[in-house]
Structure 1
Amino acid sequence: MRVCLAIIYCLGIALVKPAPAFAEHGFVAQAVARTAPAVVRIDTEREVRNRGFEPGLEDPLLRELFGDLPSSHRENGQGSGVLISADGLVLTNNHVVDGADRVQVTLADGRQLDGAVVGTDPVTDLAVVRLPDGTKGLKPAALGDSNDLAPGDWAIALGNPYGLDSTVTLGIVSSLHRNISSLGFTDKRLELIQTDAAINPGNSGGPLLNEAGEVIGLNTLVRAGPGAGLGFAIPINLARGVAQSLATGTPVVHPYLGLQLVPLTASKARDHNSDPNALLQLPERDGALVQQVLPQSPAAKAGLHRGDLVISAGQKPVHAPADLLAVVEGSKVGEALDLEVLRGEESLKLPIRPAPLPEAAAQG
C-alpha cells in the first residue's frame, strides 16, 4: 500500500502543469495588470488673472506703482483619468480640468494626445475628456458595481500622485455613503467611498479598483492634516450615469428643493428642549431639521418652515439630511414628492415639486 501511494503521489507531481508566470504574483499585481493600460495622466494649462486685474476689479494703484504688470499668468495642473470606452472617452474629476485651456493626455504606453473636455458636472465633480478620433489601441477599464461593496473589501488606487506615473497603493474600503458635506464641501452632492488606500495630489480622477481589477470608484480627494490617511472616491455607479450624459451632451439635471438642513437626533432634541431659553420645541426623534428655506424655492412654495423636521420622503424614512438628499437626487424634476414633516406636535404631509438645481446651490 505504501508503494502504491508513493507511486500515485509521484505521478501527481509529475503531471502538474507548470503555472503561468503571472500566477507567481498576488491578486493586487493581477488586478493592476488588468486595468493599468486604461489609466492616463492628465496635464492641464489655464490662464489665471493676477490679483488686482480681475475683470471689473482692476486696481489702478497697481498700475501707478508698478507700471504695466502682466494681467495674467499661465498655471499648470496635473491629475489622472481612466479610459471608459474604446473610442476614447476618459473619465476624470471636474476639478482636474476645470477652466483648462489645454488638456494633454498621456496614455499608459507613453503616447501624448490633446484631449477635449466634452462635459463637466461640478455638483458631482465629474468630467469627460475625449481623445482624438481614430486613436487606436485603446484599452478601456472594466467597470464594477459599487453597490456590491462592503466595508473591509480590498481597495486598490491607481494614478499619478506628485507626477509619479503608474503608482499603486493598497488598502480597504473603510466606509460607504460618506456624505461630502460632512467633509466641508457644501457645493457638491456626493456620497463617497472612504478608503485607507493612499490617495495624494495627482491621484484625482484615477480609478479605485476591487480585487478583480474592476473600477469601483474614481479617486477624488484626501483628508489632510490630523485626518491623514483618509481617502475618498466617487462610486462608479454614479460616475457611470453622469459620464453617459456628459458624453452625449445631455445636461446633468440635479433636482432641488431649496432647503438648508442639519441632522437632528432624539438626544439633541431633548438637550435643546431642556434649555429654558429655547425659542421653539423640537420633536424628540431623528430626522432632517430645516435650518433655512430659500426664497422662491420649491420648499418655500410647498410651505416648509424653519424648524420643521422632515421624517420621510417618497415613502422612505429620513433619519438624517443625507437620506432626504438621496431621495431628492433620485426624484424627477416637476413631479410631486410627498414629504412627511413634524412641526411641533403637528404631523403634516406636504407635496413638493423639485426644480432643477441652480448654480452654487447643492444642498436640499
Structure 2
Amino acid sequence: NSFVRDAADTIGPAVVRIDSDQASLRKAMTVSGSVSEGRVGGKPTSGRSGVIRGTGCGLVIDAEEGYVVTNSHVVKREEKVKVTFIDGNVYDGEVKGVDSLTDIALIKLKPRAGHALPVATLGNSDSVEVGDYAIALGNPLGLDNSVTLGIISNVHRTSAELGITDRRVDFVQTDCAINPGNSGGPLVNEFSEVVALNTAIRADAEGIGFAIPINTVKRVASLLANGEKVPHPFIGIRMVDNFTANSAFGDRALELPVGTVIVDVIEKSPAALAGLAVGDVITAVNGVVMNGAQILDRV
C-alpha cells in the first residue's frame, strides 16, 4: 500500500460532509489577485436571495464527545447541520462555537446508540517543513471522498501577506488540488496525521492553497468546547514581517533588523498612546523574538 492510500484509509472515515440549509444571499464570486475562502470573499459579480444548501467538510477530533471541527465560513453560530460520514451514516449536529478571526468552528454531534464515531489522528503542525508530503481529503465541488496529493509549499503565511484583513491566523501553504467544498477538510502528512485544516485558495491561480495549522485548531477547539471566547489581543497596529516590508518602505527595509515592521497605527489606540509609529520594528516582546508578524498574537 502507498502512504496516500494509508492516509485515506486511516483519516477518511473521520472526514464528514457538512450540509446546512440557511437563508442567505447566493453570490457568484470572482476574486483576482486575492485569497478566497472556499471561493467565498471578494466582490460579488451577481447575487440573489434564497435558501441555499451549503456544503463543506469537517473532521472528527473527539469521538467520545462527538466533536467535529470545520471552518467558520462553512457554518454559522447556533446553526443546525447535517453531518454525513463516508459510510452513509447521517448525524444531526449543533454548532458549539465559532471563532471567525481564526475561521474555526466546532460542531457537536448528537450521540447514536450502537455507532462508535471514527476519529482522526492529529499531528504536530510545528514539525511541518517545506517539502513535506501533503494529502488533502474532502468534497471538492460536491465530489465526496476525494483525495489529492501535493507538498507543503510554505509553513508560515500570514493573513497580512495574503491580504485577509479579517483573520488573525497563520497559514500553511500547499500545492494540493483543493477547491470549494474542501473547506474544513484535513491536510494530512505521510504518516496519516492531520497537520492542518484546509480553508482557502488563491482565486486567480492554481496550485496555491492554504490551511490552518492543526495546533491552532486544537487550541481554538478546546476553548470553544468549554464555552470560552478565543482571546485576540488588540494594540492597534498593522504589521508585516520585515522581509515583506520592501513594498512599504523600499530600500530601507534592507537595513531593518529581524522583527515585525509596523506599517499602520490606529489613531488613539493603545499602540498610538504608547508612542509606536509607522516604520518602527518590534524585535521582541517579553523576551520572545518577533520573527513573524503573527507571533505577537501568541505572546
Q: Which residue of 2 aligns with 1:228?
A: 206
2 CA distance for matches of 1:218 and 1:267? 28
Residue 79, structure 1, aligned to residue 50, structure 2: no
Residue 217 to residue 266, structure 1, CA distance change in 2 (3 Å): closer
Q: Which residue of 1 aligns with 2:266?
A: 294
Q: Deviations over 1:308-357 (max 9, x none)?
A: 333333334445xxx2431x2222xxxxxxxxxxxxxxxxxxxxxxxxxx
What is the correspondence of 1:128-277 to structure 2 with a 5 Å cutoff? 128-134=106-112, 136-225=115-204, 227-264=205-242, 268=246
* Counterpart contact for 2:120–2:194, Cα < 8 Å: yes
Residue identity matched to 2:70: T
Which residue of 37, 40, 45 maps to 2:21? 45
What is the CA-CA distance between 1:77 and the residue it aligns to? 1.0
* Counterpart contact for 1:270–1:284, Cα < 8 Å: no
2 CA distance for matches of 1:265 and 1:314? 22
Q: Deviations over 1:86-107 (max 9, x none)?
A: 1310010011103684411111
Which residue of 86, 89, 100 maps to 1:108? 86
Q: Which residue of 2 aligns with 1:325?
A: 294
1 CA distance for matches of 2:224 and 2:261? 34
2 CA distance for matches of 1:41 and 1:266? 37
TM-score, with length taken from structure 2: 0.83
1 CA distance for matches of 2:15 and 2:131? 25
Which structure carries more helix by proportion?
1
Q: Which residue of 1 aligns with 2:284?
A: 312
* Counterpart contact for 2:136–2:147, Cα < 8 Å: yes
Which structure carries more strand by proportion?
2
Structure 2 counterpart SS, 1:96: coil
Residue 208 to residue 265, structure 1, CA distance change in 2 (3 Å): closer
Residue 215 to residue 256, structure 1, CA distance change in 2 (3 Å): same
What is the CA-CA distance between 1:271 and the residue it aligns to? 5.0
What is the CA-CA distance between 1:113 and the residue it aligns to? 1.8
Residue 180 to residue 283, structure 1, CA distance change in 2 (3 Å): closer
What is the CA-CA distance between 1:265 and the residue it aligns to? 5.8
Q: Deviations over 1:141-168 (max 9, x none)?
A: 1111111111111111100111111100
Residue 324 to residue 267, structure 1, CA distance change in 2 (3 Å): closer
Q: Which residue of 1 aligns with 2:256?
A: 285
* Counterpart contact for 1:106–1:112, Cα < 8 Å: yes
Q: Report how many aligned residue pairs link the two structures.
A: 275
Residue 202 to residue 49, structure 1, CA distance change in 2 (3 Å): closer
TM-score, with length taken from structure 1: 0.69
What is the CA-CA distance between 1:241 and the residue it aligns to? 0.8
What is the CA-CA distance between 1:290 and the residue it aligns to? 2.8
Q: Which residue of 2 aligns with 1:57?
A: none
Sequence identity (%): 44
Structure 1: which 5+ residue stretches go unaligned?
A: 1-24, 52-70, 274-281, 332-364
* Counterpart contact for 1:265–1:284, Cα < 8 Å: no
What is the CA-CA distance between 1:296 and the residue it aligns to? 3.7
Structure 1 counterpart SS, 2:217: helix
Q: Which residue of 1 aligns with 2:38?
A: none
* Counterpart contact for 1:157–1:208, Cα < 8 Å: yes
Answer with 1 or 2: which has the greater Rg: 1
Greater RCO, CA 8 A, separation 6+: 2
What is the CA-CA distance between 1:262 and the residue it aligns to? 4.5
Residue identity matched to 1:141: A
2 CA distance for matches of 1:266 and 1:32? 37
Which residue of 10, 22, 30 maps to 1:34? 10
* Counterpart contact for 1:142–1:214, Cα < 8 Å: yes
